[in-house]
Amino acid sequence: MTSRLPVRKTYKLFIGGAFVRSESGRYDRIEGEAAAAVNIPRASRKDVRDAVAAARKALSSWAGRTPYNRGQILYRFAEALESRAGDIGAERSEVEAAIDVLVHYAGWTDKLQPVLGGINPVAAPFLSFSVPEPTGVVGVIAPDSPPLLGLVAELAPALAAGNTVVAVLSDARPLSGLDLGEVMGIADVPGGVVNLLSGRRAELAPVLAGHHALNAIVNATGESTLAAEIDKLAAESVTRVRHTTASESYADATADPLSRLEALTELKTAWHPVGA
Amino acid sequence: MATQEQRTSIRWDYAPAPESPDHVRLRDSYGLFIDGEFSDPVDGTRVPSVNPVTEEVVAEVAFAGPEDLRRAVQAARAAQPGWAALSGLERGKYLFRVARLIQERARELAVVESMDGGKPIRESRDVDVPLAAAHFFHYAGWADKLSYGMGGRAVEPLGVAAQIVPWNFPLLMAAWKLAPALACGNTAVLKPAETTPVTALLLAEILREAELPPGVVSIVPGDGAAGAALVRQPDIDKVAFTGSTAVGKDIQGALAGRGISLTLELGGKSANIVFEDAALDQAVEGIVNGIFFNQGHVCCAGSRLLIQESVAEAVVGKLWDRMNRLRVGDPLDKNTDVGAINSREQLERITSLVDSGEEEGAVRRSVVCELPSRGFWFPPTLFTDVAPAHRIAAEEIFGPVVSVLTFRTQAEAIEKANATPYGLAAGIWTDKGSKAFEVASALQAGVVWQNTYNHFDPSAAFGGYKESGFGREGGMAGLRPYLRVAS
């Protein structure tokens, strides 16, 4: 009996709904979680800019969908991840926790407005109301551990609130994140809504944080030096920043979801006269 | 056809109607309000606060030096655990007291606000002071209901808040900052603006009268350098700033890596959009209110007027007529619509930007009116033939100057309105409700006024998108920046 030669996967960046190599042609060699070492694309500054442009382009259509529709797409994302759980380069338990995070936030899309917004009881003849809207294009700096769940825990609230995302994956453990791109490709997540970059965090995160078309950045690495650098760059265009440290406890991935959602929404207040 | 009979022209002149400053009791000199006492600055100075109308001194005011700021932060730190340990109801009762005292001293506060800052008494009397009281009253009631305002989460105060307010609504902005901070159990160090510190010091008297525990609020006037030094104090947990985008960026950068919660309410270049189906006369009133309210010294001023082409000529004609009926002059006169420019420095900034408008080819019309020979004044001004790239269309002028641009379609109006790094406010004028709501949802602005402009309420969130800042003030959302979710 002849042994069959397995078909290996070529890992690619996920930008604008397409699987692409880094425009720089660079790669890094990564130790696989289970199998042999693999090559992954080492994204460049230009790839970051392309990803932000793709996220910006996808924003108005994603933000403009009904919350019901966004919720269904997030749920579909969870379904697709469940069905491919065995193909993701992460522990089964971590994948399952990530699926549950997606389900949790699929249910948030149409709850955010009643929880954060409402009619303001102003002392004048006006209908005044406040509604949360997406902040815009959000950068996510994923932690090294847990690499998949830590990414999804920040990605899901950003998407639920109507934002689009550019994520920089863990340097050391990017494979599960890159696998996630393939899941989104079959889960009705529109192209450009999520963009995934592998490479070197120290090179990519500052470019992302300093990009003037980025509206907010979530740094889940817990690294204080990186946090200070991100803060400084974000100040150049009043970019919103949230720093957090990804927890190893799977239950923490949905801890205080409202704070994660609030950090990526803008409250808009509208006034309309009542009467003449 | 009968020719129309020539009508006798009637002049509707106004007799002077000055508000009397007789009941105002100002001291000649005010110290720093630290730890419940007015005290001499240790390493600060004493600076006269000037009335922009008469260029006379309203009062001499102590400006804080670095050691004074340190003392104020220290007092706030020492007072914080005790303040937070009070029951919410008790904290709220102090704030209710403050609201009542502001109401009791409303007339005095309004007059002093107009003397120190140059804004018409009609505005300080009807807007600034009542809204300041209302803010304290609103947040007083939140103090024992905080978790309800936070989606049921258990919460705790951040600690010591450093708060910096601008010169355009001195007392009102102090109320916007202090009321939510205190309701949430924080203590505060407030820095009023360089040119308008006096009503904040009257507020300090009110806080004493309310028997607020010492150190819960310190009020330390100073210039921009003092503000920069305050946010760099080591022992603070929160910074809240209202002012220019440039200074806001500096503060955000200065806090880098410090893990300090930050709220920024920054500049704007807000679009006021007039559609062809709007009630044009009503729109003109709203345009006037949008840009000439408080001499245009308003972060959310409707300074970019976008008019649909088909009605542009008509609207500009009506607006110009209306502008010529604005009464510019003594802020203490109850008939005055447009008062004095806040300071010489601001007058120079407005003048230089208006000059740039002319140099870049926009067409300027300024109301010809008799301006007092002393003080700082700028006539209401309208620019037409403005290109989006002109400085007067892109930069915040913060004065009584409106730039008119036109559009053909709704999509173009939205695109032009959003084509700015700012995102504070916008106005929409149309008689079609569905259009108003559609456009409102497409505008990247924290506040959208439909068929009205420049309305504020303590129960309604206010704050910017994009480079107009982050965080909200007012309403339930205004609690969030002063609380952390308990772990």
Q: Residues 6 or more apart from A110 whose CB is under 8 A from it?
A: A67, A68, A71
Residue B436 contacts A, CB cutoff 8 Å? yes
B47 in contact with A, Cβ within 8 Å: no
B236 close to B267: Cβ distance less than 8 angstroms? no
For B396, the token pair is 């915040």
Stated as kind and residue range, the H or E segment containing B199 is helix B198-209
User: How many Cβ atoms are within 10 Å of B419's Cβ, its own excluded?
Assistant: 14
Q: What are phi and psi of B28, to 5 degrees?
A: -70, -35
Mean of the pLDDT values across residues B468-472? 98
Question: Which of B255, B421, B470 comes nearest A231 by C-beta?
Answer: B255
- Interface residues of A toward B, Cβ cutoff 8 Å, are 115-116, 118, 120-124, 126, 128, 130, 133, 215, 224-225, 227-229, 231-232, 234-238, 240, 243, 256, 258-259, 262, 266-273
For residues B253 and A230, what is the distance between their CA atoms, to the nearest angstrom? 10
Within the 264-303 window of chain B, which residues sit less than 8 Å (CB to CB) from chain A? 264, 266
CA neighbours closer than 13 Å in the CB half-sphere of residue B178: 35
pLDDT for A226 equals: 97
Q: Is B253 on the interface with A (CB under 8 A)?
A: yes
Tell me, what's the pLDDT at B446? Answer: 98
Q: Is B265 annotated as catalytic?
A: yes
Per-residue burial over B90-112, b = 16 or more CB atoms within 10 Å of its CB, e = otherwise: ebbbbbbbbbbbbbebbbbbbbb
Domains of chain B: 29-266+466-485 (3.40.605.10), 271-450 (3.40.309.10)
Distances in whole angstroms, Cα of residue B83 to Cα of each of A107, A164, B211, B222: 39, 42, 13, 26
pLDDT digits (tens, 9 = 90+) for B161-214: 999 999 999 999 999 999 999 999 999 999 999 999 999 999 999 999 999 999
- Mean pLDDT value of segment A63-74: 98
Q: What is the pLDDT at residue B12?
A: 67
pLDDT at residue number A2: 76
Q: What domains can you pick out in chain A, each with its CATH number?
A: 13-273 (3.40.605.10)
B405 within 8 A of B388, measured Cβ to Cβ: yes
Q: Do B460 and A256 touch (CB under 8 A)?
A: no
Mean pLDDT of the region B74-80 = 98
Mean pLDDT of B154-160: 98
Q: What percent of chain B has pLDDT over 70?
A: 98
Binned at pLDDT 50, 70 and 90, residue B1 comes out as: very low
**Residue B2 pLDDT > 60:** no
Q: Is B24 helix (H, G, I), strand (E, B) or coil?
A: coil
Instruction: Using pLDDT thresholds of 50, 70 and 90, give the confidence band for residue B6.
Output: low
| Min Cα–Cα distance to chain B from A64, Å | 9
Q: CA-CA distance, A210 to A222, in Å (whole number)?
A: 19
pTM equals 0.96
For A252, name the nearest residue in chain B, comparing CA atoms only: B487
Q: Which residue has the tokens 């007027």?
A: B305
Question: Which positions in chain A touch B463 (Cβ < 8 Å)?
Answer: 267
Does the pLDDT of residue A53 top 90, yes or no? Answer: yes
Give B236-264 pLDDT, tens digit per residue.
999 999 999 999 999 999 999 999 999 99
Is residue A122 over pLDDT 70?
yes
Arithmetic mean of pLDDT over chain B: 96
| C-alpha distances out from residue B455 to A47, B168, B337, B427, B458, Å | 44, 16, 17, 11, 11
- Residue A137 in this model has a pLDDT that exceeds 60: yes
Contact A270 B450 (CB under 8 A): yes
ipTM: 0.95
Q: Is the pLDDT of residue A190 over 70?
A: yes
Band of pLDDT at residue A34, cut at 50, 70 and 90 = low
Residue B327 has pLDDT above 80, yes or no: yes
Q: Which of B127, B262, B264, B449 to mutate to test the interface with A (most CBs of A within 10 A)?
A: B449
Paired tokens of A26: 């660079």
Give the model's confidence band at A170: pLDDT under 50 very low, under 70 low, under 90 confident, else very high. Answer: very high
The predicted structure's pLDDT at residue B370: 86
Q: Does B134 touch chain A (CB under 8 A)?
A: yes
Closest CA in chain A for residue B149: A116
Q: Which tens digits make up the pLDDT trace of B273-308?
A: 999 999 999 999 999 999 999 999 999 999 999 999
The pLDDT of residue B133 is above 50: yes
Q: Which residue of A has its CA nearest to B454?
A: A271
Asked whether the predicted pLDDT for residue A20 surpasses 70, the reply is yes
Asked whether residue B3 carries a pLDDT value surpassing 80, the answer given is no
In the predicted structure, residue B330 carries a pLDDT above the cut 70: yes
Exactly one of B19, B123, B265, B467 is catalytic; which is it?
B265
Check if B300 is active-site. no
B432 vs A: CB within 8 A: no
Pick from B255, B421, B459: CB nearest A122: B459
Percent of chain B scoring above 90 in pLDDT: 93
Q: Two tokens at B298? A: 């308003």
pLDDT computed for residue B11 by the predictor? 66
- A248 contacts A220 by C-beta, under 8 angstroms: no
Is the pLDDT higher at B289 or at B12?
B289
C-alpha B220/C-alpha B189 separation (Å) is 7
pLDDT per residue over B370-379, tens digit each? 899 999 999 9
Give B421's contacts in chain A (Cβ within 8 Å): 237
Instruction: Name which of A121, A228, A273 is nearest B257 (Cβ-Cβ).
Output: A228
pLDDT at B8 over 90: no
- For residue B472, give the nearest of A238, A259, A267 by CB distance: A267
- Sorted by sequence, the CB contacts under 8 Å of residue A27 that are 6+ apart come out as A39, A40, A41, A42
Average pLDDT of chain A to the nearest whole number: 96
Fill in the DSSP letter of residue B166: -
The pLDDT tens digits of the residues spanning B173-187 come to 999 999 999 999 999
